[in-house]
Chains A and B, each alone.
Chain A
């Protein structure tokens, strides 16, 4: 009975474009309330995203700090310079180690003399009491647990009397970063859920207000897929636009925070180069937001559309 139907791909595209235009037009009709909904969703999304950008920055900076952080291995007195150099060469091959340096007892003494202020007094000593030392700089990104294991291994060597790192500091830093990452995940989850629920509720109200229209469409044979299409489009559109708003929100927040972070970094004697949301990540956020909008709309459509039947 359906003669002359065009089910070609271009026809299908046209039909979808038609619905998309329709959804946009409806969004404009409900202008103010749609705008408020989208703003609210955008704000909700910008919060975890901003936090994420900040932890990303902190992680980058922490790699930088670790570069200036070293492990000290105090060698046993029995080890001569040649053996010490050999040990250094071996340690440098370890994947955790970025670079290293051997300091002979003489060199250690010279360094000690320089910053201890004992100066001449040390010349009175007959024997140099200081051991030879190997200083290692671990690769950036090495975490505290890996370092502990590495140190324990070195400590167990007979050539090494003592292996030390200021790992308290490193542990605190990585715990803080871990905490930040978790916080981002949890907030992302909660606020993502919020966004989905907001869309679901908005679409539910939309469906409610178009109940008569849905009944008529069902009467003239519209399958669920056809009826739900504009609602899914609207939901996705809500999500997409809220993603764009969230990107703007992140940019504005970071902009407002920059002077304060600069001051904070300066107080630690460091310069901070705050990286904003990269274009790729911004696009991912928009895509993710659109997906959440679709999920919310789909949930709402699935729950509300089937109950509307002609009578």
Chain B
């Protein structure tokens, strides 16, 4: 599904965020990405989402070297990934419904046909009934869950999540992680960056540990 070969990332200011990372994630595998703050977790996910480009190495997704994707293909590549961001990134002049519907509109669903999918996605994150609210009327955790619903609504085969439970209370965090687990059971591959060691130990999934840009462990 996903393979990193000798991937390094040095930001223009000289900061080395990742240093020759070799890593792979199998089809239908779920892994947690952990490490201290500044270890390079977000950078790793950004490289896979083509938000940043590696300084060295190759990233292969579904058999494609994504470093060679022409600019015009990048949107279609991203459409197949469920991205969940550390900072939620909702559109504040649109309702919760419209935010979640956006990926479907982008993929060419007609506005009339997407209602059920949107409500189903909101239901899975426990926000059914909030469709017409504006993002500012929601709590931080609720906003985060809208972001998760937006990533899930297109039923992606690969989900990249950057601290998806950062703003959630323990109970909700557990719910969301459980949700990810169920997706994984349906065959979806997931890579989730998180600091929540408690949850990771309880879920008993693969852990990828980064430290100062180096791969410290992967088990």
Contact = CB atoms under 8 A, between A and B. Distances in A.
Interface in A267-311: 310-311
B111 A15 contact: yes
A173 B72 CA distance: 58
Residue among B49, B77, B89, B156 with most chain A CB within 10 A: B89
Contacts of A14: 110-112
Given A2-B154, A3-B155, A221 B108 contact: no
Given A218-B75, A221-B78, A1 B157 contact: yes
A36 B18 CA distance: 52
A11 B109 CA distance: 7
B109 A5 contact: yes
A147 interface: no
B151 to A, nearest CB: 8
Given A1-B155, A1-B157, A220 B150 contact: yes
B102 A217 contact: yes
A226 interface: yes
A124 B155 CA distance: 115
A10 B106 contact: no
Contacts of B150: 220
B86 interface: no
B110 A216 contact: no
A53 B109 CA distance: 48
B91 interface: yes
Contact of A15 (B76, B77, B103, B108): B108
Contacts of A15: 105, 108, 110-111
B117 to A, nearest CB: 8
B141 to A, nearest CB: 19
B88 to A, nearest CB: 10
Contacts of B103: 220-221
B30 interface: no
Contacts of B105: 15, 18, 226
Interface size class of B (residues with CB under 8 A): 20 to 34
A2 B117 CA distance: 13
B113 interface: yes
A223 B75 contact: yes
A88 B174 CA distance: 107
A310 B52 CA distance: 9
Nearest to B75: A223
A222 interface: yes
B51 A311 contact: yes
B64 to A, nearest CB: 14
A213 B52 CA distance: 19
Interface string B80-112: 110101000111010000000011011111111
B111 A5 contact: no
A310 B77 CA distance: 15
Interface string A1-39: 111111110111011001000000000000000000000
A264 interface: no
Contacts of B155: 1, 3
B106 A11 contact: no
B79 interface: yes
Interface of B: 49, 51-52, 72, 75-81, 83, 85, 89-91, 93, 102-103, 105-113, 117, 150, 154-157
9 contacts: A1-B156, A12-B110, A18-B105, A219-B89, A221-B78, A223-B72, A224-B72, A311-B51, A311-B52
Give the top 6 A-B pairs by smallest Cβ distance, nearest first.
A11-B110, A221-B79, A221-B78, A223-B75, A14-B110, A222-B106
